[in-house]
Amino acid sequence: MTTTLITNIGELVTNDPEAEDLLGLVQDAALVVEGSRIAWTGRAADAPDADERVDLGGRAVVPGFVDSHSHLVFAGDRAQEFAARMAGTPYAAGGIRTTVAATRAATDEQLTSHVARLVEEMRRQGTTTVEIKSGYGLTVKDEARSLAVARQFTEETTYLGAHVVPDGDPGEYVDLVTGPMLDAAREHARWIDVFCERGAFDADQARAILGAGAGAGLRGRLHANQLGYGDGVRLAAELGLLAVDHCTYLADEDVDALRDSGTIATLLPGVEFSTRQPYPDARRLIDAGVRVAIASDCNPGSCFTSSVPLCIALAVREMGMTPAEAVHAATYRGAEALDRDDVGALVVGRRADLAVLDAPTHVHLAYRPGVPLVVQTWIAGRPG
Ligand SMILES: [Zn+2]
């Protein structure tokens, strides 16, 4: 198998869990890629020989971003809704229906090419693993095809039939989501998710939907406490879910429940940026001992950014995270939030997924917001 030495790395973020510092930083570093995996990391001066050699000229290298929350399968856009919101119209969950109509009207080819474009946009910004949800089909056929499209791009596909009640009786819709729609979705999905929020699904409905999903072999995730206080975060903790996403409005008992259950709080600061809502308080969660991930939530309504670097900058500026915590949250914690131990760190045995920054350190991701610092992204040992 071909080996490649990537050397003259000014600063290497390994996320080695054995290291004394959070990021497992190595200065003047190198790493060796063998096939798709990391075979060696350390000081450049100590590096072994390899078949090929890439000199990064002192640039920093971070693990590829693991974006554990996105909604990329959709058609149309909602730029006018965004403009209206910026002119004072409040955000509400119902805008999802606009995208549902456009998505149902799109062909499979249109949906696929649109997802391909967004995944490529993410890759150019350093994202190497992305979770993709359905949730803009909301019929048996359209949810199944949304997941089949997503599956072409990632193993991390999430069935979100319970995004919003499209029309009619909510009870009947929950029966559909937990019955025929689940049967059609399960073969294409690894996860099941519910938008547990006023205007969407309540905690009892979420419990029923996640329970049905578990029965079909799908692991649960939850959108909760985005728009106001509620029971969603405590439900996630009670069910022992791996991650609960948004966590903007948290009572003290919610924070305690997350700490006690070990459930990861995935914060999505692009949403608050794009809706002018208050940001979640990452500092409070981390200080309480809760694991925090950050992700893009890329979607056409509440947050149409695919940029994890932007989310890192926002997490530092607006949520009280240090640059090191934010980078860790977008890589290592993102991998944990997807139960992946093969990505999210640049240590021996993991997949060689990395982002090369045109910068001397990871700090620049927050220090230079909006600047396209990612100059190369490697996935499974191959530069893109
Ligand atoms: Zn979402």
Residue 91 has pLDDT above 80, yes or no: no
Residue 327 has pLDDT above 80, yes or no: yes
Please give the distance, rounded to the nearest whole angstrom, from the Cα atom of residue 223 to the centre of ligand 1: 6
Give the pLDDT confidence of 134-192 residue by residue, as tens digits: 999 999 999 999 999 999 999 999 999 999 999 899 999 999 999 999 999 999 999 99
Question: Rounded distance, CA 173 to CA 166, Å?
Answer: 8
Domains of the chain: 3-64+345-383 (2.30.40.10), 66-337 (3.20.20.140)
Please give the distance, rounded to the nearest whole angstrom, from the Cα atom of residue 42 to the centre of ligand 1: 38
Alpha helices in the chain (DSSP H): 79-86, 96-105, 108-124, 140-151, 170-178, 180-185, 203-215, 232-239, 252-261, 269-275, 282-287, 308-319, 323-329, 332-337, 364-367
pLDDT value of position 270 = 98
Please give the distance, rounded to the nearest whole angstrom, from the Cα atom of residue 351 to the centre of ligand 1: 26
Q: Rounded mean pLDDT of the chain? A: 97
Residue 383 pLDDT class (50, 70, 90 cuts): very high
β-strand pairing of 52-55 with 37-43: unpaired
Whether the full predicted model's pTM is greater than 0.95, yes or no, is yes
Please give the distance, rounded to the nearest whole angstrom, from the Cα atom of residue 222 to the centre of ligand 1: 9
Please give the distance, rounded to the nearest whole angstrom, from the Cα atom of residue 70 to the centre of ligand 1: 6
Please give the distance, rounded to the nearest whole angstrom, from the Cα atom of residue 217 to the centre of ligand 1: 21
Please give the distance, rounded to the nearest whole angstrom, from the Cα atom of residue 268 to the centre of ligand 1: 8
Question: Rounded distance, CA 136 to CA 72, Å?
Answer: 10
Over residues 65-92, the mean pLDDT reads 91
Residue 94 pLDDT class (50, 70, 90 cuts): low
* pLDDT cut 70: percent of the chain above it: 99
pLDDT value of position 97 = 85
Please give the distance, rounded to the nearest whole angstrom, from the Cα atom of residue 354 to the centre of ligand 1: 25
Question: Rounded distance, CA 274 to CA 269, Å?
Answer: 9
Give the pLDDT confidence of 239-281 residue by residue, as tens digits: 999 999 999 999 999 999 999 999 999 999 999 999 999 999 9
Give the pLDDT confidence of 29-51 residue by residue, as tens digits: 999 999 999 999 999 999 999 99
Tokens 């080996």 belong to which residue?
A: 3
Tell me which amino acid residue 277 is: Q
Please give the distance, rounded to the nearest whole angstrom, from the Cα atom of residue 301 to the centre of ligand 1: 10
Do 348 and 369 touch, CB atoms closer than 8 A?
no
Residues with CB under 5 A from ligand 1 (ion): 297
pLDDT value of position 126 = 98
Give the pLDDT confidence of 339-351 residue by residue, as tens digits: 999 999 999 999 9
Please give the distance, rounded to the nearest whole angstrom, from the Cα atom of residue 273 to the centre of ligand 1: 14
pLDDT value of position 93 = 58
Please give the distance, rounded to the nearest whole angstrom, from the Cα atom of residue 135 to the centre of ligand 1: 9
